[in-house]
Structure 1
Amino acid sequence: MAGPSQQDQVRGLVVIVSLHFADIGVRNVRAVLRERPRPGSTPGLRYAQTTLTGAIASGPPVLHPGRAALLAAWEDDAALDRFLAEDPLPRRLAGGWQVRLQPLRISGSWPAMPVETDPGAARDAEDGPVVVLTLGQLRLRRALPFLRANSRAAGRAAADPSLIASVALARPPRFVGTFSLWQSTSAMCHYAYGTDRPAHREAVREHAAKPFHHEAAFLRCRPYGAQGTLDGHEPMAAAARAAEGSR
């Protein structure tokens, strides 16, 4: 799939988000956590976070000890291309999977990552594969209620046949997040808002009543430009096959 148009980039309506996952071993994960890129020294970078990863599933958090992730936001594709060509960090992660994301809709706020969305993009997007990112700065005193609510919602998501790929993100003590790739926007919305699947809605209500996080955002994105593999598969190809099979 093609990325956002050059005209959109010039207007400043679009921020590119990238995610990189790679199985690099525990020692190298620690190194990656120390090597988080900085917007002031990386041209075109607006935000970056290097994280530990885990499984999205019911029950206690399950860490994937040898896998690292890099979440970043960019001014445009050209800035990301320069980073991939010139910075040593993406070379550490080159054996994994990376995907580019066009933000379509944001709920909540994440001031460190000034996402701008094109109001027309969400309306015009086809009902194809969609990525949801959740981002949170955890209130430590609310950690246990958050883990309980998250376990219920994550267990239901993991069991949903429309979920193509998912990864939990964490950088202790406060940053928590999730990445999930869904077969289609309609399938994702059915999980999130369907009356027969209340776990996610209950978690949202509990957070609204007494927030789990100091800051939180839910970002819906159109994925494009994927490269490499995750757990031996290319998730975007799997999403295309799933969408074709559902027709």
Structure 2
Amino acid sequence: MSIFSYHLVELPFFVALKGIFSNPISENTEGLIHSETMTAMTLGSPILSPSRVLIGQVALFMQWENEKALENFLEQDRFGRTLAKAWHVRLSFVREWGKFSGFKIPNDKAQLESSNSPVVAVTLARMKPLAVPRFIHWGRPVEKLVRDHPGTTLSLASVKFPNTVSTFSIWKTEKEMTDMVHGHSKVERPKRHSNAMKERERKDFHFEFSTLRFKPIAEYGTWKGQSNFLPNN
């Protein structure tokens, strides 16, 4: 059964810089369906801030034919062994909105036990260059909303030049995530996300865009000295 994995790893500056221009994971890796390697960003940070694009902090989002293929990669591949020492979470597909090339969306979908179950959300988009200023105007308030939301345990953005952007967030419950999406959260300016989605529907920012929802399977390792980001629901 196909599974997804999301990895966070800190690499030496020049190793990470090289990864911006070449994928460190071979397309011929056995059992790998697709991977996206991106540079981590701080959600909501100023565009010209040093914390905006964090060279050295790398996010990888991958789909595998099965969990055994992922295990073999982490054990046998040189870069895989580096990732095995870092942090990652394994994910079962629940739902998709939109479409993003490369990944093969499974026909079999995992089921959450209830709306109070934890959930992981990943967004992926390929930007229209001329739409970037408008996207930043509408997107940064949404980044701050997700970053500061009491329902998240871990959230970040990432980028792959020239035009791929992504977000990743772990939510304590599906309800808290869907309340945020629809503007029902009990936080300041709760409609930032729903307003941005209305603007996207009016005039799209992207060539392609997908929001993926997952049931977390298991978490491994530490990120910035922390672990256990998955809620124990």
Report the TM-score when normalising by structure 2: 0.89
Asked if structure 2 preserves the Cα contact closer than 8 Å seen for 1:105 and 1:122, the reply is no
Contact 1:51 1:170 in 2 (8 A): yes
- SS of 1:36 mapped into structure 2: coil
Which of 211, 229, 240 matches 2:222?
229
1:38 and 1:47 in contact (8 A); partners too: no
Q: Quick one: structure 1 residues 215 and 142, their matched pair in 2 at CA, closer, same or farther if it must change by over 3 Å? A: same
Q: CA deviation at 1:126?
A: 5.9
Aligned residue number for residue 39 of structure 2: 52
- Conserved in 2, the CA contact under 8 Å of 1:32 and 1:89? no
Q: Is the 8 A contact 2:74 2:83 kept in 1?
A: no
Give 1:3-22 correspondences, 5 Å limit.
9=1, 15-22=2-9
Residue matched to 2:102: 112
1:165 maps to: 154
Measure how far apart 1:204 and its partner are. 1.0
Counterpart residue type for residue 71 of structure 1: F
Q: Cα 1:122–1:193, aligned 2, differ >3 Å: closer, same or farther?
A: farther
Q: Which runs of 4+ in 1 moved over 4 A?
A: 123-126
CA distance in 1, matches of 2:181, 2:144: 13
Check the 8 A contact 2:118/2:170 in 1, yes or no: yes
Return the match for 2:120 from 122, 127, 131: 131
Amino acid at match of 2:89: V
Q: For 1:26 and 1:32, locate their aligned partners in 2 and report how far apart those are by CA, in whole Å.
A: 10
The correspondence of residues 28-67 of structure 1 with structure 2, limited to 5 A, is 28-33=15-20, 34-39=22-27, 41-57=28-44, 59-60=46-47, 62-67=52-57
1:24 paired with 2:11, answer: yes
One-letter amino acid of the counterpart of residue 189, structure 1? T
Alignment length, in residue pairs?
A: 225
Q: Percent identity?
A: 26
C-alpha distance after superposition, 1:100-134 (max 9, x if no partner): 11110000011311111535x34655622111000
Q: Does 1:175 align with 2:164?
A: yes
On the 8 A contact 2:147/2:156 being kept in 1, the answer is no
Residues of 1 paired with 2:71 and 2:84: CA distance?
13
Q: CA RMSD in A?
A: 1.9
Q: 1:225 deviation in Å?
A: 2.1
Query: Which of 145, 159, 179 pairs up with 1:190?
Result: 179
Task: Report whether the alignment pairs 1:74 with 2:85.
Answer: no
Where in structure 2 are there 5+ consecutive unaligned residues?
A: none
One-letter amino acid of the counterpart of residue 88, structure 2: Q
- 1:202 matched to 2:203: no
Larger proportion of helix: 1
Q: What TM-score does the superposition give when structure 1 sets the normalisation length? A: 0.84
Structure 1 contact 74–80 (Cα < 8 Å) conserved:
yes
Shift of 1:38: 3.8
Task: Show CA shifts across 1:71-111 (max 9, x none).
Answer: 11111101111111111112233442111111100000113
Q: Which runs of 5+ in 1 are unaligned?
A: 1-8, 10-14
